[in-house]
Amino acid sequence: MSSLFSLFSSPKQRSAQNEEDEDSDSSQNESQEMKGEVHSHLEESIRPYIDLIDTLRSIGIHKDLSLPTVVVIGDQSSGKSSVLEALSGIALPRGSGIVTRCPLELRLKKVTGGVKWKAVLSYRKKRIELVDSSIFASPLNVSGQLRSGKVAHSVYDEKKFEFEDPSEVEERVKAAQNELAGKGVGIRNELITLEIMSPDVCDLTLIDLPGIARVPVKGQPQDIGDQKEETINMVVVPCNTDITTTEALKMAQEVDPEGKRTIAILTKPDLIDKGTEKNILAVVHNKVIPLRKGYIMVKCRGQQQINDEIPLEEAEQMEKDFFQNHDYYRGLLTENRATIKGLAVRLTHILVDHIKKSLPQLDDNVKKMLWDAKNELNECEEGPPQDPKGAKQFLIMILKKFNDRINSLSTGDLIIKENLFVRLREIFKKWNDHLVDTKPSFKNMKEFCQNNRGRELLGFSNYRVFEIVLQSQVATLKKPAFDLLNIIKEIILEQFRDVSNQSFQNYPVLLDITTKKIINIQASQHAKAQERISEQFEMENMIYTQDPIYLKMLNEISHETFSEDQLPIFDTKTKYSEMLQAYYDIVVQRMADQLPMMITLFMLKQTAQFLSTDMLSLLDWANVSELLFDNSDNAKKRKDLQVRLKRLTAAQEALSDFI
């Protein structure tokens, strides 16, 4: 903030005008107004500036830079609440210790034309909402099979209360504070705005800040020094204390050494020590501790008057009487250095002057921040647009990209981390190796046949025995075949997951849904493949091949060239092993190709196809922004910047009418 600080004391600012001249200018206006000759043009010249600052604050621009404000500083029981009360005509939460626990913005608006008193209390309450990502389950979801994920994001509830009974203020402010800061003494930064529309108030906006507006009490942070150049300090000092040593005045002096932004309010003139009147008068006349904005003396309701429930209007009359009848302070009335009403008018003028002076710099700062925010946003990684149409288009784009990737993966055109097809070939080769390595020699068939000889006469062979031998041999391949399927399934799952992570890394909801879809589709494809492999083994159980194929293999194995009609010579027990070997080789060849093709088709090709189709069903999802919910750091930054940009643009628009 030091940059702002220095910007505000730039030569342009300092040479703007002679402040004392200006102050005496406005004193003339004040005296006219105090005499009841309220010039409508004056109202017209003041109100827009106050409204502008109120507008800027509603936009939220005070989060980016500080706005001209009046803050109240003073010791305990110096009369802060009494002054605020008299200015606003309403009872605020009062008590000892920390009463103001959230910044309270008090917007006083003068209304004319027989409008009754009316107040609007408003604030924003942050709430964390959990989105259940399992609600996005795909049609293929096997319910209960998958874990459900929750993702958190914050939403704001706008609270607004309108009421017409001034006596409700205290309770309503307290309730709002409790809601925002919790019961107890916690302090929060959320702003509570209380707008009072009444014929009896001045156009003025005051901010009561916890820990800043008041002299810190035990446990409150001592952050009075954090005040910005834009703050007007309203220091409340009771007359019946040693004004020169007042802590609050010292603090104001620390943050505003030249006293340019400090106005002092002297309270409790009725409780003054007899004999000190002249000393006090010297203070009010700015002769003791000079302040550019000067002093003003007010008399509020004493404790007794509060106990007696003297209404504020009556107190106003009593204040006037008090000054008129006072030997020493009578003159202050004409000098515009006394009464609550005089304070209100003076404060308004100070604030408006201050606003006017701050505007060019404020405008410059807003423009600069707008520029910075735009640049920063450009540097931010791209994300979904905030409008529903744009968000939908963005969704279409990332889904398409994902599908393209999945399809390229299935055709081997996309390589992530490792080449899928290289990996598959490796595994399939192992399968082939296994088939070859486990090939039996069938050498002991002679013995086997003797051991299994049935009712046939000697010399006759039993075909059934050979069938059994081959069938049991093929059956040993069943488990390795299913193992192969499972291994491939895992490899493909991993690669599909990689593609999902790559495509939806910033969108946990979308990623979760996609993962579930992959798992579901894979599960059903796995079941299909399992069935298909089982069928394959059932077929192998039949022992079959085409004669020419068999003959070719038999010749290869025996290194001879027999024709079909020469074959019966094989039907001797010595040749059985070669016949079995030849057939089993055919089985091995069949299985070596068939299974990889089957598994690739079911687990890769079809899975990719079904997944792409299923992903498109997400386009029918009603709440796109929920689907695109993004909680990455980049997204948070982008979201913040987008909000800020909106805010700054609105601020610049509001300011442009004044510059």
**Rounded to an integer, what distance in angstroms lies between the CA atom of residue 407 and that of residue 413?**
8
From the list 78-86, 307-315, 469-477, 506-514, the region that binds Mg ion by CB under 5 A is: 78-86
**Between 27 and 81, CB nearer to Mg ion:** 81
**Between 85 and 630, CB nearer to ligand GDP:** 85
From the list 154-162, 263-271, 502-510, 631-639, the region that binds ligand GDP by CB under 6 A is: 263-271
Minimal distance, residue 314 CB to ligand GDP, in Å: 14
Does residue 303 bind ligand GDP (CB under 6 A)?
A: yes
Minimal distance, residue 204 CB to ligand GDP, in Å: 18
Which one among 301, 405, 489, 644 touches ligand GDP, defined by CB under 6 A?
A: 301
C-alpha distances out from residue 565 to 490, 547, 551, 581, Å: 50, 12, 11, 20
Backbone φ and ψ of 26, nearest 5°? -70, -25
Question: In sequence order, what DSSP letters do the residues of 167-205 get, joined into one string?
Answer: GGHHHHHHHHHHHHH-SSS------EEEEEEETTS-SEE
**Between 302 and 440, CB nearer to ligand GDP:** 302
Does residue 82 bind Mg ion (CB under 5 A)?
A: no
Q: Three-state SS for 69?
A: strand
| SS3 of 106-144 | EEEEECCCCCCCEEEEEEEEEEEEEEEHHHHCCCCCCCC
**Between 217 and 487, CB nearer to ligand GDP:** 217
**Between 288 and 306, CB nearer to ligand GDP:** 306
| SS3 of 532-553 | HHHHHHHHHCCCCCCHHHHHHH
**Between 74 and 384, CB nearer to Mg ion:** 74
**Between 326 and 392, CB nearer to ligand GDP:** 326
Per-residue exposure over 581-600, b if at least 16 CB sit within 10 Å of its own CB, e if not: bbbbbbbbeebbebbbebbb
**Rounded to an integer, what distance in angstroms lies between the CA atom of residue 128 and that of residue 627?**
17
From the list 79-87, 514-522, 541-549, 584-592, the region that binds Mg ion by CB under 5 A is: 79-87
Minimal distance, residue 94 CB to Mg ion, in Å: 5
Does residue 78 bind Mg ion (CB under 5 A)?
A: no
Does residue 299 bind ligand GDP (CB under 6 A)?
A: yes
DSSP H/E element including 513: helix 508-540
Minimal distance, residue 230 CB to Mg ion, in Å: 24
**Between 81 and 262, CB nearer to Mg ion:** 81
**Between 81 and 403, CB nearer to Mg ion:** 81
**Between 74 and 259, CB nearer to ligand GDP:** 74
Q: Which of 615, 637, 19 is nearest to 376 (CA)?
A: 637
Size of the site for ligand GDP (CB under 6 A): 19
Minimal distance, residue 315 CB to ligand GDP, in Å: 9
Minimal distance, residue 269 CB to ligand GDP, in Å: 7
Which one among 302, 331, 385, 440 touches ligand GDP, defined by CB under 6 A?
A: 302
Where helices occur in 412-476 by DSSP H, the ranges are 420-437, 445-451, 463-475
Q: Which of 535, 549, 542, 533 is nearest to 471 (CA)?
A: 542
Does residue 326 bind ligand GDP (CB under 6 A)?
A: no
Which one among 115, 135, 152, 271 touches ligand GDP, defined by CB under 6 A?
A: 271
C-alpha distances out from residue 207 to 77, 201, 212, 475, Å: 18, 16, 10, 86
How many residues belong to the chain? 659
DSSP state of 338: B
Does residue 81 bind Mg ion (CB under 5 A)?
A: yes
415 binds, among ligand GDP, Mg ion, none (CB under 5 to 8 A by kind): none
From the list 76-84, 271-279, 509-517, 559-567, the region that binds Mg ion by CB under 5 A is: 76-84
Residue 87's contacts (CB-CB under 8 Å, 6 or more residues apart) are 108, 201, 202, 204, 206, 340, 343, 344, 347
Residue 3, Cα to own-chain centre: how many angstroms? 28
Minimal distance, residue 644 CB to ligand GDP, in Å: 36
Does residue 100 bind Mg ion (CB under 5 A)?
A: no
Minimal distance, residue 265 CB to ligand GDP, in Å: 10
Name the residue with tokens 């507008």: 55
* Residues in 45-74 that interact with ligand GDP by CB under 6 A: 74
Residue 351: both structure tokens together = 């604030």
* Residues in 77-106 that interact with ligand GDP by CB under 6 A: 77-82, 94
Which one among 38, 306, 414, 592 touches ligand GDP, defined by CB under 6 A?
A: 306
Q: Which of 55, 352, 66 is nearest to 203 (CA)?
A: 352
517 binds, among Mg ion, ligand GDP, none (CB under 5 to 8 A by kind): none
**Rounded to an integer, what distance in angstroms lies between the CA atom of residue 7 and that of residue 612?**
57
DSSP H/E element including 72: strand 69-74
**Between 261 and 299, CB nearer to ligand GDP:** 299
Q: Which residues bind Mg ion (CB under 5 A)?
A: 81
Q: Which residues bind ligand GDP (CB under 6 A)?
A: 74, 76-82, 94, 267-268, 270-271, 299-303, 306
